[in-house]
Copies of this chain bind each other. A is one copy, B any other.
Amino acid sequence: MNQKIRIGIVGYGNLGKGAELAVGKNHDMELVAVFSRRSLSGTLSGVPAVPISQVGKYRDKIDVMLLCGGSATDLAEQGPQISALFHTVDSFDTHAKIPEYFAAMDKSAKAAGKAAAISVGWDPGLFSLNRLLAGAVMPQGTDYTFWGKGVSQGHSDAIRRIAGVKNAKQYTIPKQEAVEAVRLGKNPAINSNEVHIRDCYVVAESGADLAAIETAIKTMPHYFVGYETHVTFVSEEEFKAKHSGIPHGGFVFRAGQTSPGVNHIFEFGLKLDSNPEFTASVLAAYARATFRLAKHGFTGACTVFDIPFAWLSPKSADELRRELL
């Protein structure tokens, strides 16, 4: 076997822990260390937990760094710093800022002779790939994206900020009849907020005004106004038992036409028990591809659009053609 790809992880929240699991499932990879701004007592796999300030000492010990911080603050700052030292893969998902982030990563990685794969995950990521593929194959058609059933961290946080709320989780759920209408080729005209339900589970402080909380949720602009919103109050025990997971998923469709009356439905779907574990698994596969891309001389930033699928797999080109084509 060739030498293993040496992986590091920056950030040790849910995504970082998922990355630790994912690297362990890829036998051509070796996890070297986990880096964090926090002082960690250790890691699940036993690899060293290292303060981020010492990351520079690992320049010759790590090939690809998986950036597992959040887009909003961590990545915008850490990304360009780390990509000046290592090849990187991240799941930057603040859509409006992707061009700006791409430019920053491209500059830092290129100057250092490194490769930086940005916005890798499932959306952006696998969903984006399918949108591109479906549109290229069927130039005439309509795209649909549905998200869920899945936890929206932003909406859950927004509910938790309401007075009297102790804990909360918001699931985004696509309306089944809308998904089915698309799947059956009915080409419905739909708005995203009309085809998703916002389902909220709330633990209230004792003595809180439940009706006021429910009203505060349903009338919250940007987050809930315009959506079919359900609010269910649950006990702390029930919340822990039934709402501690982080599921997600969704569907990308394209309904296309190749000649009058000749219609085709292209569908891609994910149903994920754990959003961070799956996202981290995508990062791991793209770490392999990014390492190979770099070995072939690529420097700068790239996205899932730029990477041939062959490089995602540990199998040889011959094996892929024989077994998977």
Q: A residues bordering B, Cβ < 8 Å?
A: 18, 21-22, 25-26, 95, 98-99, 102, 119, 124, 126, 128-133, 135-140, 183, 185, 249, 256, 258-259, 261-274, 277-278, 280-282, 284-285, 288, 303-310, 312-314, 317-318, 320-322, 324-325
Residues in B with CB closer than 8 Å to A131 are: 324
CB-based contact B265/A268 at 8 Å: no
Residues in B with CB closer than 8 Å to A273 are: 261-264
CB-based contact A310/B305 at 8 Å: yes
Q: State the Cβ distance, A159 to closest chain B Cβ, in Å.
A: 25
CB-based contact A320/B132 at 8 Å: yes
CB-based contact B270/A270 at 8 Å: no
When chains A and B are docked, how far (Å) is the Cα of A131 from the Cα of B317?
Answer: 14
Residues in B with CB closer than 8 Å to A140 are: 25
Partner of A318 from the list B99, B136, B139 (CB cut-off 8 Å) is B99
CB-based contact B128/A325 at 8 Å: yes
When chains A and B are docked, how far (Å) is the Cα of A78 from the Cα of B288?
Answer: 37
CB-based contact B268/A268 at 8 Å: yes
Residue of B nearest to A96 (CB): B322
Given contacts A128-B325, A267-B269, A309-B133, contact A274 B303 (CB under 8 A): no
CB-based contact A258/B309 at 8 Å: no
Residues in B with CB closer than 8 Å to A124 are: 325
CB-based contact B324/A132 at 8 Å: yes
When chains A and B are docked, how far (Å) is the Cα of A261 from the Cα of B21?
Answer: 13
Q: Chain B CB within 10 Å — which of A277, A308, A312, A325 has the most? A: A325
